[in-house]
Amino acid sequence: MRASRTSALCVAVSAVLVTTVAATSAAADVTGGSAATVVVTGGALAITVPADAGSLGTRANSVGGGTISGLLGEVQVTDARSAAAGSSWIASVISTAFTPLTGPAIAASAVSYSAGVITKVGTATYTANNPSSLAGVSAVVSATGITGDNSATWNPTITVTVPGGMAAGTYSAVITHSLV
């Protein structure tokens, strides 16, 4: 009977091995895929400007007047709208008068804007328009023929024509950029 037990044990062990190998092979052959998606929406068209430009410069009063010029600080337009080819944007600016604590102001019509060098990213044609008066809203930089996302950065020079005979003091104005 000893031979029968050995044979029965071999058959039982073989059955367990065959079942284990079959179960392992079946699990390895089973694969599954999961569909996944992400959504990217169009971003924004935005402009950033310096919060406080500080002093644009100093000059001594004179009978004939003169100019004071200084850099405003970095202005940047970012366009992440995924806009259709051929789209455009226009950055504009306007200034208030430069006013002292007391006395007459320097009119916004005596304030000019020069965009200077435009650092460009993306595909578009960028054009600077350097207005000689900021009394009304004036275009300063535009982008046309846009393809995809883009950005433009510049550091404009603001020039204030100071009339002769102005009172000594600090004159302040607000220069506001807008974007369409």
CATH number of the domain that residue 50 is part of: 2.60.40
Asked whether residue 141 is domain-assigned, the answer is yes
Residues near 117 by Cβ (< 8 Å), separated by ≥ 6?
A: 154, 155
**Which portions of the chain are predicted below pLDDT 70?**
1-29
Beta strands in the chain (DSSP E): 45-48, 66-71, 75-79, 87-95, 111-114, 119-128, 138-154, 157-162, 175-179
**Inter-residue contact 154 to 74 (CB < 8 Å):** yes
- Six token digits for residue 3: 């031979």
pLDDT of res. 28: 62
Asked whether residue 25 is domain-assigned, the answer is no
pLDDT of res. 113: 98
How many distinct structural domains can be found in the chain?
A: 1
pLDDT of res. 83: 84
In Å, how far are 16, 25, 142, 180 from 19, measured between CA atoms? 5, 10, 74, 72
State how far the Cα of 164 lies from the Cα of 97, in Å rounded to an integer. Answer: 16
Asked whether residue 165 is domain-assigned, the answer is yes
Residue 70 sits in which domain range? 45-179
Asked whether residue 22 is domain-assigned, the answer is no
**Inter-residue contact 153 to 79 (CB < 8 Å):** no
Asked whether residue 5 is domain-assigned, the answer is no
Asked whether residue 78 is domain-assigned, the answer is yes
Asked whether residue 33 is domain-assigned, the answer is no
The structure's pTM equals 0.78
Asked whether residue 118 is domain-assigned, the answer is yes
- Six token digits for residue 31: 């694969």
pLDDT of res. 6: 40
